[in-house]
Structure 1
Amino acid sequence: MANTSYSERIQQGFIEHVDESKLLDCMRCGFCLPSCPTYIHSNFDESQSPRGRIALMKAVRDGLVPFDDSVEESLDMCLGCRACEPACPAGVEYGSLLESAREVIQKEKKKSVKEKFARKVAFEHLFKEPEKMSKTVGLVRFYQKSGLQKLSRKTHVLSLFPTILKDMESVLPEIEKKNLTVMRGMVFEAKKKATKVAFFTGCLMETIFSKTNKATVQILQQLGCDIVVPQNQVCCGALQGHSGELENARENARRNIDSFLAEEIDYIVNNAGGCGAFLSEYNHLLKDDKEYMEKAKRFSEKIIDITSLIYKLGITKLPLANKKGSLTVTYQDSCHLRNVNGVITEPREILQSIENVNYIELKGADQCCGSAGIYNLIHSEMSMKILDTRMENVQHTNAHIIITTNPGCLLQMKVGIERANLTGKIEALHLIDFLYDYVLDEGKLSLDSRKKEQISIN
């Protein structure tokens, strides 16, 4: 194919890797349109809708439309939130089609040296090797603690960078001195045993949001879970998969499968909606891998979100009584937790079960907040349009706290609070942190653990 054009190579790639039968499942009925944030926020541009993107994939595959920058922009602008899937009466597997198309594009696209370097560092190192992720986050902590953060803010040097980076810098949590990568290889024991689980720590959750991970383990212990944290687990692979780096995602999947299936457990629990959705689809990711396809199926069947497990084991087993007076809260869905894993009622039921908590449903909570992995960094204009609309709806709830169940959503909502000048009036929290900080009697939550013969964790 040396003499073929870029467009022809993309067409051939679509023929080989984008499943035509899945493309033909789309009936062009339009039920997906009201669920698609990019369609709504692009003044109803069909090329920014799920059925429009599917039509473009099919046209490129059939040679009716040459693949060019406009087609690439349409596919690239998609959030990948998959809200179109539960809205689709035909059950179109849009997420699978999008990932396949993006993989073909990334293989054939001519990249700059800068882009090649960035993708290699991110997808072949940071999100494959937990130690490198931990060291990178350590640099963020140095920036926060050394005085550089104060200096950069005082001198307004951050104004030289894109606004979204400045906003993200302002809402990053304070990085703990000792992040909880030390959880790896640990076993946390419950006094009253109900079940045994393995904990997927997540690359961002265990470094930037390690406090949430610690609280997760303590709540699980309270519910009677023995928790094992596999030593050799790695990033779930979602960011690689959504960015067209499916082979890198598959490598991570194999490592996680080997690590977790070595344990005798009932569930594999996670506290990040995006991670959980990708983990639950390892059976699809490795469907053509003869060695791992059955293992992947067993692995995916064990995946459960922390809110689902809390609900399953019994909300009433937790001391749910708000310690800080009457509060109004609202909830922003994690797209993939809702649209892929179908977890909708559980977090809402938990919040509604708490004394002195007034739960208000957020209009549009079922639609993406605009975070979508690194989408808010790459397509910041569209992301901020979506976020600003969301914050208008948040203000109508008069909530004191916005609850989320995904790290990207959490940071995005924190940015939204800053942009809406609501700092000090409202805060954004992970559901686990809300339970731990506002609701549970912390005196009843102890962290009993062992690492083979070692018995301590701080």
Structure 2
Amino acid sequence: MSIQTDFQDRIEENELLNCMRCGFCLPACPTYIETQNEVHSPRGRIALMKAVRDGEIETYEQVEESLNVCLGCRACEPACPAGVNYGHMLEEALAIFNEHHQPSMKEKAARRTAFNHLFKNQKRMEQATSLLSFYQKSGLQKTTRKLGFMKLFPKHMQQMERVLPKMSKRKREPEAHFPAVGGVKATVAMFRGCLMDTLFRETNRSTIQLLNEAGCDVVVPDTQGCCGALHGHSGEKSGATDLAKKNIEAFESVDCDYIITNAGGCGAFLHDYDHLLQDDDEWSERAKAFVSKIVDFTTALVDLDFTEKSLNIENHRVTYQDSCHLRNVMGVSQAPRQLIHAVSGAHFIEMKKADHCCGSAGIYNLTQPEMSMQILDHKMESMMETNATTIITTNPGCLLQMRLGIEREGLTDSVRAVHLADYLLEALNHQ
């Protein structure tokens, strides 16, 4: 089957035609802002997809390049007056090209290792992060830096190595119940994720404690796995589908009011499971039931009146960087800000273009480092205008990217980046 035939079968012409070419998406698109090139705009990419579908393009190199340069931030969707589902078309197009792509042996091995063996298996994720822990605690990290070994890598990767989080000593808990403090207002199930459950395990624990304080009984199903976002954004649709089914099944065993997420990228992909499985007769209704319960932790805390608690912190200036997918897909932008405003001592300064992508976008900063760093540098210019000493985010990729930006600007002694859950727990426990 040809690429054109797959585009005709799997990408609806009506959806492509919904794009009116009005240009409202252009000011919202980071790659268009950086390049001023229509090829790297949402309407340009949609035009390329339609040209492939209509057989007007015979060689696809430019199309693939355009799609690969896209961050997938989906900022174009809330800006679009016609309601074009750009993100769904992008992921389907990437999947089609990936299925027809003939990778090199090196690329094939890298994809198999990452998507089939690592992210699909939480035990292997644990093993990988154990290696990182050994690297940090054994003295190997200091030796590596002292010998200048990291200088063999590109500058941005040297900087990324310096901002990797310190590994938690806390072991992952199996399926467990964490009881509410005081009266029970709701029973929730926690989606722990793969990176959040390894690199950012303490943030997961912070989230659970906040939910407990808000009156939630929290259950953490042990059979859940990676959300599949990295698979979906990289054209690995079958892997994403397998993970979606595994997670739906895991949470069906829990009687809960909500399924809570604390990572914008994960939450958005979980939120789209009903689209991912829409053509599967066995799973489509189960996916809809699952999606109906997905709630970001910030929304849950605001709904449960967490803002009325005594939250205090030493006086400082704070700003907030939106998670693209939390804002653009899940529609959550005010709840995080409400929670920050509830902290006494936190002087909130809105960052210019806080809703624009920071350039992380999953593994984008590895696959498209030049564009990613260009976007990050502009983001840091906006951050520094606020004179904030704390940058708050709600997504692990954003958190690492902002820490990378702090490192690149030489601000590590004066500015920190922190997940909102950790920040709120700090404010809650502050004496």
TM-score, normalised relative to structure 1:
0.92
Q: Deviations over 1:349-389 (max 9, x none)?
A: 11112112110000011110000000001100000000000
Identify which of 156, 162, 173 aligns with 2:165: 173
- 1:452 is matched with which residue? none
1:440 partner letter: L
Q: How does 1:353-392 map to 2 (within 5 A)?
A: 353-392=342-381
Contact 1:60 1:67 in 2 (8 A): no
Segments of 4+ moved more than 4 angstroms: none
- 1:48 is matched with which residue? 40
CA distance in 2, matches of 1:346, 1:128: 31
CA distance in 2, matches of 1:219, 1:129: 28
What fraction of aligned residue pairs are identical, expressed as a percent?
54
1:103 aligns with 2:98: no
Contact 1:179 1:207 in 2 (8 A): no
- 1:449 is matched with which residue? none
CA distance in 1, matches of 2:307, 2:34: 42
- 2:400 is matched with which residue? 411
Contact 2:308 2:342 in 1 (8 A): no
Contact 1:201 1:213 in 2 (8 A): yes
Identify which of 249, 262, 284 aligns with 1:271: 262
Identify which of 312, 319, 323 aligns with 1:321: 312
Identify which of 420, 426, 432 aligns with 2:409: 420
Contact 2:307 2:339 in 1 (8 A): no
CA distance in 2, matches of 1:154, 1:16: 56
Contact 1:319 1:441 in 2 (8 A): no
Stretches of structure 1 that go unaligned for 5 or more consecutive residues are 2-8, 444-458
- 1:345 is matched with which residue? 334
Provide the secondary structure at the position in 2 that maps to 1:241: helix
2:6 partner letter: G
1:34 aligns with 2:27: yes
CA distance in 2, matches of 1:270, 1:29: 35
CA distance in 2, matches of 1:164, 1:240: 24
1:16 partner letter: D
Larger CA deviation: 115-124 vs 44-53: 115-124
Provide the secondary structure at the position in 2 that maps to 1:204: coil
Deviation at 1:319, TM superposition (A): 2.1
- 1:74 is matched with which residue? 66
Deviation at 1:164, TM superposition (A): 2.4
Residues 140 and 235 of structure 1: is their aligned pair in 2 closer, same or farther, counting only changes over 3 Å? same
Contact 1:179 1:206 in 2 (8 A): no
Q: Deviations over 1:211-242 (max 9, x none)?
A: 11111111111111001100100000000001
CA distance in 2, matches of 1:55, 1:412: 31
1:220 aligns with 2:211: yes
Deviation at 1:317, TM superposition (A): 4.3
Provide the secondary structure at the position in 2 that maps to 1:207: coil
Identify which of 139, 147, 160 aligns with 2:152: 160
1:140 aligns with 2:132: yes
1:150 aligns with 2:142: yes
CA distance in 2, matches of 1:56, 1:399: 41
1:22 aligns with 2:12: no
- 1:186 is matched with which residue? 176
CA distance in 1, matches of 2:302, 2:76: 27
Contact 2:312 2:430 in 1 (8 A): no
Deviation at 1:37, TM superposition (A): 0.3
Identify which of 122, 137, 143 aligns with 2:114: 122
CA distance in 1, matches of 2:155, 2:368: 12
- 1:451 is matched with which residue? none
Provide the secondary structure at the position in 1 that maps to 2:197: helix
1:238 aligns with 2:229: yes
CA distance in 1, matches of 2:310, 2:201: 23
Provide the secondary structure at the position in 2 that maps to 1:203: coil
Provide the secondary structure at the position in 2 that maps to 1:276: helix
Provide the secondary structure at the position in 1 that maps to 2:370: helix
Deviation at 1:442, TM superposition (A): 6.4
CA distance in 2, matches of 1:168, 1:232: 31
Provide the secondary structure at the position in 2 that maps to 1:205: coil
Identify which of 201, 206, 224 aligns with 2:192: 201
Contact 2:73 2:324 in 1 (8 A): yes
CA distance in 2, matches of 1:399, 1:95: 33
Provide the secondary structure at the position in 2 that maps to 1:356: strand
Q: Deviations over 1:310-366 (max 9, x none)?
A: 1110134432122xx211100000000000000010001111121121100000111
CA distance in 2, matches of 1:334, 1:27: 27
Contact 1:134 1:207 in 2 (8 A): yes
- The CA RMSD over aligned residues, in Å, is 1.1
CA distance in 1, matches of 2:132, 2:206: 22
- 1:441 is matched with which residue? 429
